[in-house]
Copies of this chain bind each other. A is one copy, B any other.
Amino acid sequence: MDLATLIGVVLGSVLLVGAILLGDAPGIFVNPPSVLIVVGGTLATALIRFSIADVVNSFKIAMNAFTVRLNNPQEVIAEIVSLAHVARKNGLIVLEQQPITDKFLKKSIMYCVDGHESEFIEEVLQKEVELTLARHQVGQQVFNGMGASAPAFGMIGTLVGLVQMLSNMSDPAAIGPGMAVALLTTLYGAVLANFLFIPLADKLVLRSQEEERNRQLIIEGVLGILKGLNPRVMEEFLETFLPPKDRKNAMEKR
């Protein structure tokens, strides 16, 4: 699992739960009907907004993002460069037998081996990247949508509670606790949105950008292999995608 996310979730939860447990009346913070309204309403709205497949997929994409390790770009470059060496010595056909860890790189190489033209391969791969990005974007939209719905349903729940409390104020002692319960949905909505949905949507964006950069790297690399570029020149060019400190051939090191 993505380490930063894990630390963040644990740290935030400890702080929040701690603040509640150390205060008066921690029991009042657990209120199943309030949970139902906020979580249920948020989910219901997500279903109105998107298709069932989109909602399910976005949870899968999020799961993926936190459990599947992305090849770091240095590894991808190393893999491309080694393929370029092989192709230079033994021709493109031999690449078919090479073990390739990155799935997108493998597919790209297959197109080369199949003898398609350079323009066709670039077009097909770019479209592939676009489609992946579009799918990730739906995932982000689902989480951002839930990040907008949760506080709204928190407010709706609080309004329902306030109306109920205000319409019957005969017992002054019940006013305080009644309002406390009414505020709970707002609290739930704020926590869900700001601590969960919105940060997750943002992390998916970041992850999506990293994946795109890796794929652009691969497309450039594969086109270079097709053109028969010198592997060393190619490596130097591909490394411009990296921050200077991660470069092997960096100019700075002279």
A residues with a Cβ closer than 8 A to B are 2-5, 7-9, 11-12, 15-16, 19-20, 22-25, 28-29, 33, 36-37, 40-41, 43-52, 54-55, 103, 107, 110-111, 124, 127-128, 131, 135, 138, 141, 145, 148-149, 152-153, 155-157, 159-164, 166-169, 173, 175-177, 179-180, 183-184, 186-187, 190-191, 193-196, 198-200, 202-203, 206, 237, 240-243, 251-252, 254
Contacts and interface: CB of A to CB of B under 8 A. Distances in A.
18 contacts: A8-B44, A9-B44, A9-B48, A12-B41, A12-B45, A15-B40, A48-B195, A48-B199, A127-B240, A138-B206, A149-B194, A152-B193, A153-B194, A159-B190, A163-B187, A164-B180, A166-B177, A169-B176
Given A25-B168, A28-B163, A243-B135, A48 B176 contact: no
A18 to B, nearest CB: 8
B190 A162 contact: no
B19 A37 contact: yes
A34 to B, nearest CB: 9
B4 A48 contact: yes
A139 B180 CA distance: 39
Contacts of A157: 19
Nearest to A114: B251
A242 B132 CA distance: 10
Contact of A187 (B9, B160, B179, B243): B160
A39 to B, nearest CB: 9
Contact of A164 (B24, B148, B203): B24
Nearest to A180: B166
A150 to B, nearest CB: 10
A168 to B, nearest CB: 5
Given A44-B195, A156-B190, 13 more contacts: A12-B44, A15-B40, A20-B160, A24-B168, A41-B195, A48-B203, A49-B202, A49-B206, A110-B254, A111-B251, A131-B241, A149-B194, A162-B180
A45 B194 contact: yes
A50 B65 CA distance: 12
B183 A159 contact: yes
